[in-house]
Amino acid sequence: MPLFTIQNEFRYEITRKIFEGGMGIVYEAEQHGARNFVKRVAIKIIRPNFASQKMFIENFVGEAKLVADLIHTNIVQTYHLGEANGVSFIAMELIRGVNLEQFTHQLVEKKRTLPKELAVFITSRVARGLAYAHNKTDKDGKPMGIVHRDVSFKNIMIAFEGDVKLTDFGIAKAKGFLTDQEGEVVAGKPDYMSPEQADFQITDKRSDIFSTGVVLSNLLIGRNIFKGATAEESRNRIMNQPIPDFRSLDSRIDDRLNDILHHCLARDLAHRYATADQLLTELEFYIYGSGYGPTNETLGKYIRELFGQEPVKSAPSRPHMKTIVLDASEHLKKTSS
């Protein structure tokens, strides 16, 4: 029995929009507490056109509950699930940085090639986050069976300090948390899906490993080999296109790295890495086996230089902020119109 119960209403003030996706919008906000306490957070809200649909609400709430106890340096942390004026929102860790899609666009813009070791390092941090999520158990010690199902460039963040963070468990599969129509409906980004995911089959954690292999190959050669002109073409390539010898696509890729890629992208599950832990071990041995290798600080220095130290515009001054506890619905109407 607790010694006392704390009852308190969180107050958030939205400062700017960070990202707008297919079903959700993410804002930067300030969380205010007692004695002038202020913490900067990210606020995720369902897009207005989905906010009245029961399944989306249930999965939005399910996502918040699922990731509440996923506390790991390579996963974006969730702080609070709230509701204001009928609008559900999730308060999350604010990442000062960019996602991999923005990161690679900047590489192209600056005519830079990502060093091979940094590509492997970024992927190894994704594998660390996945290994933790895949192995997560509930309060009774039973496996939760988490499968992310949406490992992709847009859902991998790099902070300007060099931390790599996996985010958006919105279509993740886990026991008892989210409404799942797997086998009937295909979910995820077509050019990052595993073959079994693209083929409407039931997935397990090995599906995320295939997607991680797509991320690694994309970082190394600068393009997604499975991306087609349409979602259907991408899914067809995922299921049928021969996996290339990556050494012929980039001379920096040696035998060992080529082998790692082929083990990630094996369509036969028996030949794919069985766990994210196995993939993590292979990747870390590749970059650290002969001595010193890249670190968060190495990556942080690289990304800060790439983006010119101050890539994010400063937030609007306080008079323009909106208080989510008071007028979240009004704010959404304005931004969606």
Q: Give residue 180's pLDDT.
A: 54
Domain parsing of the chain, residue ranges: 11-95+313-323, 97-306
Residue 128 has pLDDT above 50, yes or no: yes
Q: How far apart are CA 300 and CA 306, in angstroms?
A: 10
69 catalytically annotated? no
d(CA 226, CA 235): 8
**Rounded to an integer, what distance in angstroms lies between the CA atom of residue 269 and that of residue 260?**
15
pLDDT at 316: 46
Of 212, 294, 213, give the one whose Cα is nearest residue 259. Answer: 213
pLDDT digits (tens, 9 = 90+) for 250-296: 999 999 999 999 999 999 999 999 999 999 999 999 999 988 899 99
CATH number (1.10.40.30, 3.30.200.20, 3.40.50.10470, 3.30.70.260) of 11-95+313-323 reads 3.30.200.20
Tens digits of residue pLDDT in 293-309: 999 999 999 999 999 96
Q: Which amino acid is located at 245 in the chain?
A: D
CB atoms inside a 10 Å sphere around CB 75:
22
Tokens (6 digits) for 127 = 């594998």
CATH topology of domain 97-306: Transferase(Phosphotransferase); domain 1 (1.10.510)
- Residue 87 three-state SS: strand
One of 150, 163, 180, 208 is an active-site residue; which one? 150
- For 135-173, what is each residue's pLDDT tens digit? 998 888 888 888 998 999 999 999 999 999 999 876 676
d(CA 134, CA 147): 7
Report the alpha-carbon distance of residue 44 to residue 59 in Å, rounded. 13
Give per-residue pLDDT as tens, 24-69: 789 999 998 888 899 999 998 887 766 667 777 777 777 788 888 8
Identify the pLDDT of residue 67.
83
Q: What is the pLDDT of residue 171?
A: 67
Contact indicator for 134, 275 with CB cutoff of 8 Å = yes
